[in-house]
Amino acid sequence: MNWKLHSQGTFHADPVALARPRMSRWGAYTPKKSFEYQKEMLKWIEIDHEPITGPIKVSITFCHKRPARLNRKKDTVARIPKVTKPDIDNMIKNGS
| CA–CA separation, 38 and 14 (whole Å) | 12
Quick one: average pLDDT of 77-91? 76
Question: Global pTM?
Answer: 0.59
In a domain, 53, yes or no: yes
In a domain, 79, yes or no: yes
Please report the pLDDT score of residue 48 as a whole number: 67
Please report the pLDDT score of residue 95 as a whole number: 66
| CA–CA separation, 44 and 46 (whole Å) | 6
- Lowest-pLDDT choice from 11-15, 62-66, 90-94: 90-94
List, for residues 31-82, the tens digit of each pLDDT value.
888 888 888 888 877 776 677 777 878 788 887 777 777 777 777 777 777 7
Provide the residue range defining the domain that includes 34.
22-95
Number of domains in the chain: 1
Residue with the bigger pLDDT between 48 and 84: it is: 84
Please report the pLDDT score of residue 76 as a whole number: 74
> DSSP assignment of 16-54, as one string?
-PPPPPEEETTEEE--HHHHHHHHHHHHHHHHH-----S
